[in-house]
Each structure stands twice: as C-alpha cells, then as structure tokens.
C-alpha cells in the first residue's frame, strides 16, 4: 500500500485525476470503478477539464459505480445515479449505456446484486477503482460489522453513516436506511485501487489503514491485502 500525502484537496484531486488520465491514455477502453461522495468531486472536475481540452477520451470507457441508496428512483436528486450524471457523465463524451450504477429501483435486491457482479465480471473487471472512505472506515457501503459480504448486496446503513450523509439532505429523516453496495470481493477484484481521503474527519479511518490490523470493524483495513493500492490523502486526513 502506497501513501501519497498532499498539501490540500486540490492537489489530492489532481494526483487522482492524473492516475485516471494515464490509465485512459494507455488503455482507452478501460473499465473504471467510480465512487460518489464529496471526496471525488474535485477529481471528476479535473477529468472534465482534461476531456474538454482533448487530453483524454471517454468514448470507449465503461464505468461501474460502487453503490446506490435503496430504494431510490434514478431521477431523485439524492440518488448516486443523479450524482454521477451531474458531476461526470453529463460533462464528458461517455456513452451513458456504458455507465453502470446499481439499480435503486430493483424489485429484488438479491437478483440485482448477482446481475451487477455478473455484468462486471463479463466486462472484464475494473482496471482502476476510485474509493472514498467513511469516517467509520466503511468503503462503498460495506459498514463495520462482525463479518463482511463478498458480492454486491443490500445492506443497512449504520446510524453513523446516516448522520454523516444527512448533511447532503434537507433533513436526517430523508436519508435512506438501506443501500445496494458492491461487496468486498467485488471491490478487491479491481486491478488497482486509488483511495482518496481529505479532512480531519477522515483521520481515524486513515490511522486504521496505517495500523497493522485487518478487521471487519474497519472494512477499509482489508485493502492491506490488495497488491496494488494507492492512498492519496491530504495532510489533515494523514496527520489529524
């Protein structure tokens, strides 16, 4: 696991965007694993700039997002599909048919989870996976628990995550209590993982990544088992 410690959010975003841009230059038909949350917005902004400047091309790219609230309609402005369209897909030359987000309107979450993993495997697996991290150490919506789940599945959000994510809603009562999320095996099957973290609120989670222990109490700690992980964080997340 490699750590890149940046001065600030802008530098963190630039570093992450550079890695993704290099990936697209070397392999124009890359499969990107994408994340939502406030952390990757700066990275997406930089990718949009590079795309507009003609430096990178999304026309052959496929994407798979980590998670989606459940149940939620795709056109709800709190859905992760809406977020991805707004911050990236509507701003670059990607074919929307090549963008995948778990279906928050699926009738049967078990069927949706299995279908999502199958589609991902058939596409050839993720080349570079962007990850954020919850302040409780969750990745995607794999929450701290006594066990973790391998494949894409429906999960209940913890009180801490509902509280953390409520800042993006009008009221905490509007935050969905469930989500569909890629499981740990789906995430760990990516060829390369780039985890982003900024701000003091992420320090405890980053400290657990620096610690030797691998525990379902901190799902992100399992990234230590992956051979190709880069953590890009700002000083505040690194030093606390």
- Choice between 58 and 134, CB closer to ligand GLP: 134
Q: Is 32 helix (H, G, I), strand (E, B) or coil?
A: strand
Given 68, 103, 127, 138, the catalytic residue: 138
Contact of 157 with 144, CB cutoff 8 Å: no
Given 143, 153, 198, 234, the catalytic residue: 143
Told to judge if 143 belongs to the known catalytic residues of this protein, a careful annotator would answer: yes
At 89, list the tokens.
Answer: 């897909």
- Choice between 31 and 164, CB closer to ligand GLP: 164
In the complex, the smallest distance separating the C-beta of residue 165 from ligand GLP, rounded to whole angstroms, is 5
Per DSSP, which regions of 56-136 are E strands?
62-65, 67-70, 99-100, 128-131
In the complex, the smallest distance separating the C-beta of residue 144 from ligand GLP, rounded to whole angstroms, is 13
Q: Is 240 helix (H, G, I), strand (E, B) or coil?
A: coil
Q: How many residues does the chain have?
A: 240
What is the β-pairing status of strands 62-65 and 192-197? unpaired
Residue nearest to ligand GLP (CB): 132
In the complex, the smallest distance separating the C-beta of residue 60 from ligand GLP, rounded to whole angstroms, is 25
Told to judge if 163 belongs to the known catalytic residues of this protein, a careful annotator would answer: no
In the complex, the smallest distance separating the C-beta of residue 96 from ligand GLP, rounded to whole angstroms, is 21
Told to judge if 138 belongs to the known catalytic residues of this protein, a careful annotator would answer: yes
- Choice between 55 and 229, CB closer to ligand GLP: 229
Which residues pair with residue 192 across a beta bridge?
128
In the complex, the smallest distance separating the C-beta of residue 18 from ligand GLP, rounded to whole angstroms, is 19
What is the β-pairing status of strands 67-70 and 178-181? antiparallel
Given 67, 112, 117, 127, the catalytic residue: 67
Told to judge if 11 belongs to the known catalytic residues of this protein, a careful annotator would answer: no
- Choice between 66 and 206, CB closer to ligand GLP: 66
With CA atoms as reference, report the closest residue to 35 among 100, 150, 129, 114: 129
d(Cα 219, Cα 127) in Å, to the nearest integer? 21
The residues of the shown chain that bind ligand GLP, judged by CB under 6 A, are 35-39, 66-67, 132-134, 140-141, 161, 165
Given 51, 65, 103, 136, the catalytic residue: 136
- Choice between 51 and 161, CB closer to ligand GLP: 161
d(Cα 121, Cα 111) in Å, to the nearest integer? 15
Which residues are designated catalytic?
A: 67, 136, 138, 143
């Amino acid at each position: 696991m490699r750590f890149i410690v940046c001065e600030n959010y802008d530098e963190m975003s630039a570093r992450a965007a550079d890695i993704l841009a290099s990936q697209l230059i070397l392999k124009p038909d890359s499969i990107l694993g994408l994340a939502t949350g406030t952390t990757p917005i700066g990275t997406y902004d930089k990718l949009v700039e590079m795309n507009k400047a003609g430096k990178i091309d999304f026309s052959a790219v496929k994407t798979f997002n980590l998670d989606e609230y459940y149940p939620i309609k795709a056109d709800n402005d709190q859905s992760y599909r809406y977020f991805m369209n707004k911050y990236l897909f509507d701003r670059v030359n990607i074919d929307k048919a090549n963008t995948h987000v778990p279906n928050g309107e699926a009738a049967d979450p078990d069927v949706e989870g299995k279908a999502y993993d199958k589609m991902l495997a058939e596409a050839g697996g993720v080349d570079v996976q962007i990850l954020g991290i919850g302040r409780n150490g969750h990745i995607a919506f794999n929450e701290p628990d006594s066990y973790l789940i391998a494949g894409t599945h429906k999960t209940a959000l913890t009180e801490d995550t509902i509280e953390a994510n409520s800042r993006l809603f009008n009221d905490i009562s509007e935050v969905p209590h469930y989500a569909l999320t890629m499981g740990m095996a789906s995430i760990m099957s990516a060829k390369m993982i780039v985890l982003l973290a900024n701000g003091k609120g992420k320090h405890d989670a980053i400290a657990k990544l620096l610690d030797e222990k691998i525990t379902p109490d901190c799902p992100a700690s399992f990234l230590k088992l992956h051979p190709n992980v880069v953590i890009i964080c700002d000083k505040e997340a690194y030093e606390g």
